[in-house]
A and B are shown apart, each in its own frame.
Chain A
């Protein structure tokens, strides 16, 4: 079988640093204004030409890594249209969150609007899977999408079976905002859905907003009454939080303060889609497996 020059170039380009040529040479030119949609594009084999907030990708999403060829088009609230038009996109992916930009985006290229985080949509993971399929239909990548979703299913099932039969504690998932406040994640959020999929109980039972989080004072953590409950905090944690908590008698009385009941996970994006759900599932399963 002869290797065509083009596929060889592809291979070469993919193995060293991807150049803009590589990004341009396949499929439509897509710009994504949402982290979750951007990582889904990577899984569908259509890397975007530009995404918003690229500067913070490594801090919040981490994986899958964005190819070097992708251009930063500024913050998602204030997409830099000067750069956007220069990228000549064919398709722009957006969410209801950015609806006020719609008319302006539509004057640049075809806009595909996918609903994931909207009031009343229900469990976010289900919505994210539906959005992935819808996106695939728009881009003519149904096969890749089904393969990707099947991979995700297998992965969740693997996580579930790895944890099966272990005496799993219920977990509370938080981001510490400062030494006195945290965001805690629950139904209908993405992370809560992941917990359900891999068979872990969420210790925080109260429903939250449609983004899947609520802001609480640290003292509210006392509402978690299960003595075995585990507190899982995501990085980044502000530097003064843990020392301050250590001084608090209330904190020290909570079951979370007992050794081994507080774990810190690397950052995972709580407002993402299937990739982010998988990343979180993997991180959590590794952690619980190690500690069980």
Chain B
């Protein structure tokens, strides 16, 4: 039985959005409508018929399709965080299209849809198969989705970066623009949406039964595996079609079902009915407002990036009210092997030394040949290289230590500065510093710290009620990261040359580091890491839970606060040189734990060595692989780090 009361809330939200969008569209269309009365002026009518109206229709249809896709995914994976953005579906499509436009441009003319579909399907297959091993828990899914998104995004960024002028259109596409010149896109989306919506009616009943739990639904005759496959395929197809037609439009698929849930829709059937309607209203409203604003500015703004800019804070605001009725699987910390950690630490240190030597003395010369640095220029060249290497080393070590602290504090082995959005916050600070005030290193550091700390603060506030449920923290981090990305997307597509600078910050280039910056970085890193190592007792005891910690006299609130602050400082300092998405903060502590370093002190030392080494290696590869052009170290390490992490998640879930 569906009670009518549950439907009132979503209906009101839907009507409000539609009215808001309708009023805004009326303002947009009014001049054209009044001019249309003039019989001699045909072009206005044409623009109205073939640009304004199709755009509104596209907004409605794309919003509905994305929201339906999100609702389906959330329902079948029983995971309130699933949506095309978080599962990497959009990023997969984006990467596929970037690769095709670079290497097989003729394919695009033939089948953009197909290319996007292949990319999305591949991404979704990887993420869902990883999630399947862990019962589609929010963690594993969102994390592997996030990791895959970052990987695809990183690769797309490198390709774009190396072909800047040629790929400027991909910026627009990646930021999702709804501009239309005909009815082709809305109509083709409409029939695809219709077919999939009809498909949905067939799976409604088994989908509703899923809420009873796996065993009960299986007993009632639901074929779980087939159902999951079919529904995920439907959702991915929807997202891929929208992405290939209008680009990446972030967050509608996550926000719309969330709003539906918050406004009262509870049952699966209600969610799947109301989510697309609310999603349609949401994108319609957003795009109409945007056109009014942009028209006033006379500037080009892509809708997708703008929805993400507004969608993420909205999500953050909703976060504390989000009812999570899904059972969380607490991550199983493996029983630590009893190891003193001397051997792995020594091995790591020796390896790091060799790496540093190679990285300092091997390079490419003017003709692009490999050469050891020697002769008349060696002093100059080393003076250029050594600061970069030191900065990479320090940042990697700092990120890894920050990751160790966060993982121990949250009790979540997937926590890291990158995943929690702390890096994104720091980058946001740096971006503001660059654009608004452009101070030197210390000023940028101050802004980065402010950014990182504000993100931590937001995470704190939004998760205080839920006693630091990692899930919410994760969601907040994702929302923030997406917001930073969106801002960069908006800047890039307006063709603002400064966007390239910001992109470089985002991608983590050690490029602008000179001797003095590196010296500051090293000093800062040494102090912060030393302080972190001094907190080893807290870090050993706090993960055991509040009561044991209080029993041995640790001031709970203070110690947590101090440790989070420390992680924020470490992240901010590192982000200044290697950008927000290097994954070192995730890989370092993990690898250290894999090597058997379980206690806080050896784990942090090992993580610092490993993290520093990885970053130096990434920097070296980035500097030499396509010389004289240089790829940012942060991107390189993300490209290595993401698949590595996914392999580890597989291994872990298999064991």
Are A78's CB and B511's CB within 8 A?
Answer: yes
Residue of B109, B298, B366, B381 touching A243 (CB-CB under 8 A) = B109
B86 interfacial contact with A, CB 8 Å: no
Candidates A87, A214, A219, A239; contact of B181 at CB < 8 Å: A219
A71-B366 in contact (CB<8A): yes
Task: List chain B residues, Cβ under 8 A from A218.
Answer: 179, 181
Per the 8 Å Cβ criterion, residues 28-73 of A in contact with B are 55-56, 59-60, 71-73
Task: Tell me, yes or no, whether A81 is within 8 Å of chain B by CB.
Answer: yes
Chain B nearest CB from A79 CB (Å) reads 9
Give the complex CA separation of A217 and B287 in angstroms: 14
Q: Cα distance A139–B384 when bound, in Å? A: 28
A251 near B182: Cβ-Cβ < 8 Å: yes
Residues on A with C-beta less than 8 A from B384 are 81-82, 85
Q: Is A97 an interface residue (CB 8 A)?
A: yes
Query: How does the 8 Å CB contact mask read for B32-60 relative to A, with 1 for contact and 0 for none?
Result: 00000000001110110111100000000
Report the bound CA distance from A8 to B49 in whole Å: 70
- Decide: B628 and A240 in contact? CB cutoff 8 A: no
Contact B172 A215 (CB under 8 A): yes
B51 in contact with A239 (CB, 8 Å):
no
User: Contact between A82 and B381 (Cβ–Cβ < 8 Å)?
Assistant: yes
The one of A60, A75, A180 in contact with B179, judged by C-beta atoms closer than 8 angstroms, is: A180
Question: Interface code A223-251, partner B: CB below 8 Å = 1, 0 otherwise?
Answer: 00100000000001011100111011111
Given contact pairs A222-B43, A239-B106, A247 touches B182 in the complex (Cβ within 8 A): yes
Contact B43 A248 (CB under 8 A): no
Contact residues in A for B173 (Cβ distance below 8 Å): 178
Residues of B within 8 A of A12 (CB): none
Inter-subunit contact B51/A217 (CB<8 Å): yes
Are A251 and B181 closer than 8 Å at their CB atoms?
yes
Report the bound CA distance from A250 to B45 in whole Å.
10
B183 / chain A contacts, CB cutoff of 8 Å: 249
Contacts of A60 in B (CB 8 A): 165
B509: chain A residues within 8 A (beta carbon): 78
Report if B385 contacts A (CB, 8 A): yes
Residue of B whose beta carbon sits closest to that of A269:
B165
Known: A249-B50, A250-B46. A73 touches B628 (CB 8 A): yes
Cα A243 to Cα B111 with chains together (Å): 12
B49, B164, B366: residue with the most chain A Cβ atoms closer than 10 Å: B366
User: Do B108 and A239 touch (CB < 8 A)?
Assistant: yes
Q: Does B494 contact A (CB under 8 A)?
A: yes
- Give the Cβ gap from A170 to chain B, nearest Cβ, in Å: 16
- Across the interface, do A177 and B497 meet the contact criterion of CB distance under 8 Å? no
Report Cα–Cα, A77/B629, bound state, in Å: 10
Interface centre among A87, A178, A209, A218 (most CB of B within 10 A): A178
* Smallest Cβ-Cβ distance to A209: which chain B residue: B495
Residues of A within 8 Å of B377, CB to CB, are: 85-86
Picked from B42, B164, B181, the residue with its CB within 8 Å of the CB of A248 is B181
- A83 contacts partner chain B, Cβ-Cβ < 8 Å: yes
Q: Is A253 close to B, CB under 8 A?
A: yes
Contact present for A215 and B495 (CB under 8 Å):
yes
Q: Closest residue of chain B to A50, judged by CB?
A: B366
Given contacts A100-B501, A215-B172, A215-B494, contact A78 B181 (CB under 8 A): no
Judged by a CB distance under 8 angstroms, whether A258 is at the interface is no
Q: Which of A85, A104, A181, A225 contacts B169 (CB 8 A)?
A: A181
Q: Once the chains bind, are A217 and B181 in contact (CB under 8 Å)?
A: yes
A80 x B172 contact (CB < 8 A): no
Q: Nearest chain-B residue to A87 (Cβ)?
A: B366
Say yes or no: is B217 at the interface (Cβ < 8 Å to chain A).
Answer: no
Q: Determine the distance from Cα of A56 to Cα of B161 in the docked complex, in whole angstroms.
A: 13
In A176-222, the 8 Å CB interface with B consists of: 177-178, 180-181, 183, 206, 209, 211, 213-219, 222
The closest CB in chain B to the CB of A219 belongs to B51
Q: Which of B42, B50, B179, B628 contacts A74 (CB 8 A)?
A: B628
Q: Which of A100, A222, A249 contacts B182 (CB 8 A)?
A: A249
> For residue A247, which residues in chain B have a CB less than 8 angstroms away from its CB?
182, 184
Query: With A and B bound together, what is the CA distance between A253 and B631 in angstroms?
Result: 45
Cβ of A136 under 8 Å from chain B? no
Complex interface: chain A residues within 8 A of B627 (CB): 74, 80, 83
Residue of B nearest to A77 (CB): B500
Contact digits for B355-391, partner A, Cβ 8 Å, 1 yes 0 no = 0000000011110000000000100110011000000
Q: Which A residues are in CB contact (< 8 Å) with B495? A: 183, 209, 211, 213-215
Look across to chain A and name the residue whose beta carbon is closest to the beta carbon of B627. A80
Query: Which residues does chain A contribute within 8 Å of B381, judged by CB atoms?
Result: 82, 85-86
In the bound assembly, the distance between CA atoms of A146 and B366 in angstroms comes to: 34
Q: Which of B57-94 contact A (CB under 8 A)?
A: none
Report the Cα distance A72→B44, complex, angstroms. Answer: 50
Output the nearest chain A residue to B108 by Cβ-Cβ distance. A240
Contacts of A81 in B (CB 8 A): 384
- Given the interface pairs A82-B363, A181-B179, A249-B182, the reply to whether A236 lies near B166 with Cβ below 8 Å is yes
Interface positions of B from 494 to 509, Cβ below 8 Å from A: 494-495, 497, 500-501, 504, 509
Asked if A240 and B42 sit within 8 Å, CB to CB, the answer is no
Distance between Cα atoms of A250 and B504 in the complex (Å):
39
Q: What chain A residues lie within 8 Å of B181 (beta carbons)?
A: 180, 217-219, 245, 248, 250-251
What residues of chain B lie closer than 8 Å to A214, measured between beta carbons?
298-300, 495
Q: Does B1 contact A (CB under 8 A)?
A: no
> Closest B-chain residue to A72, C-beta based?
B628
Q: Are B46 and A222 in contact (CB under 8 A)?
A: yes
When distances are taken between beta carbons in the complex, the residues of chain B under 8 Å from A265 are none
* B47–A206 CB distance below 8 A: no
Would you call B630 an interface residue if the criterion is a C-beta within 8 Å of the partner chain's C-beta atoms? yes
**What B residues does A243 contact at CB under 8 A?**
109
Query: Which residues of B lie under 8 Å from residue A168 when comparing CB positions?
Result: none
Chain A nearest CB, measured from B108 CB (Å): 5
A112 at the interface (CB under 8 A from B): no
**CB proximity to B under 8 Å, residues A62-118:** 71-75, 77-78, 80-83, 85-87, 97, 100, 103-104
A215 to B175 Cα, complex, angstroms? 14
Q: B493: which A residues are within 8 A, CB to CB?
A: 215
Q: Which of B46, B299, B497 contacts A253 (CB 8 A)?
A: B46
Q: Residues of B contacting A209 with CB < 8 Å?
A: 495
Known: A100-B512, A245-B181. A177 touches B172 (CB 8 A): yes
Task: Indicate if B101 sits at the interface (CB-CB under 8 A).
Answer: yes
Tell whether, in the assembled complex, residue B494 and residue A254 are in contact, meaning their CB atoms are under 8 Å apart: no
Expressed in whole angstroms, the minimum distance between the Cβ of B448 and any Cβ of chain A is 17
* Identity of the chain B residue whose Cβ is nearest the Cβ of A178 in the assembled complex: B169
Q: Check A249–B46 contact: CB distance below 8 A.
A: yes
7 A-B pairs closest in CB distance: A250-B50, A217-B179, A219-B51, A177-B169, A248-B182, A74-B628, A215-B300
Seen from chain B, the residues whose Cβ lies within 8 Å of a Cβ on chain A are 42-44, 46-47, 49-52, 101, 105-106, 108-109, 112, 164-166, 168-169, 172-173, 177, 179-184, 298-300, 363-366, 377, 380-381, 384-385, 493-495, 497, 500-501, 504, 509, 511-512, 514, 627-630
Given contacts A86-B365, A215-B300, A250-B181, 19 further A-B contacts (CB under 8 A): A55-B629, A56-B165, A74-B627, A78-B509, A83-B628, A100-B501, A100-B512, A103-B514, A177-B169, A178-B169, A183-B495, A214-B300, A217-B180, A219-B181, A239-B106, A239-B109, A247-B184, A253-B50, A254-B46
A-B contact pairs, 15 of them (CB 8 A): A56-B165, A82-B363, A85-B380, A86-B380, A178-B172, A178-B173, A181-B179, A214-B495, A217-B51, A218-B179, A238-B105, A243-B109, A249-B49, A249-B182, A251-B181
